[in-house]
């Protein structure tokens, strides 16, 4: 059990939902605080820093505004922007994949065996997910000693997702 497990339990108990944070008058939604705590938990070198200092930093964590990402200077700002951008690309990837799977399920798709094609695409996507994780984990490990490692990892995930979107879109016959 990690050193920062207790504050995560504390926040989980205090903030049962995003609506709860607003009801309590707290400035940040639960997801922002959880993201900050996750980043802090991943920073093993900071275990010597007093817990109240780490939590104070989390209380000031903000979701990045779109225009603020071009001015991001600190590691936390850069990581928050990279995470937001990666989440958007991931949502787009999921939408394109689902659209492809839906089209392949249409009875008038013109395919001899649409069920087989769907299974092959599903298997390929699962293998691609494993490849992307392994590739981005390797890039993370390459920068394991530096503060840029999270941004590199998220950038890798986003780049691979954008490439996969293009690949999946090439499946569409029209």
CATH class of segment(s) 66-169:
mainly alpha
Distance CA 69, CA 83 (A): 11
Domain ranges of the chain: 5-59, 66-169
For residues 46-59, one letter each, b for 16 or more C-beta atoms within 10 angstroms of the residue's C-beta and e for the rest, the string is beeeeeeebbeebe
Cβ 172 vs Cβ 100: under 8 Å: yes
Residue 86's nearest CA partner among 154, 150, 27 is 154
More confident residue, 173 or 41: 173
Tens of pLDDT along 16-75? Answer: 444 433 333 334 444 555 555 555 455 444 444 444 444 444 544 455 555 678 888 898
Predicted TM-score (pTM) of the model is 0.61
pLDDT of residue 165: 97
């Amino acid at each position: 059990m990690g050193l920062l497990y207790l504050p995560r339990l504390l926040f989980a108990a205090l903030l049962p939902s995003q609506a709860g944070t607003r009801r309590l008058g707290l400035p940040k939604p639960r997801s922002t605080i959880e993201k900050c705590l996750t980043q802090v938990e991943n920073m093993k070198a900071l275990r010597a820093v007093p817990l109240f200092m780490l939590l104070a930093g989390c209380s000031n964590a903000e979701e990045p505004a779109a225009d603020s990402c071009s001015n991001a200077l600190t590691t936390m700002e850069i990581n928050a922007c990279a995470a937001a951008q990666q989440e958007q690309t991931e949502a787009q990837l999921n939408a394109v994949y689902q659209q492809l799977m839906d089209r392949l399920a249409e009875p008038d798709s013109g395919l001899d065996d649409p069920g087989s094609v769907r299974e092959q695409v599903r298997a390929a996507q699962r293998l691609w997910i494993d490849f992307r994780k392994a590739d981005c984990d390797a890039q993370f490990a390459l920068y394991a000693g530096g503060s840029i490692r999270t941004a590199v990892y998220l950038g890798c995930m986003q780049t691979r997702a954008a490439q996969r979107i293009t690949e999946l879109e090439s499946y569409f016959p029209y």
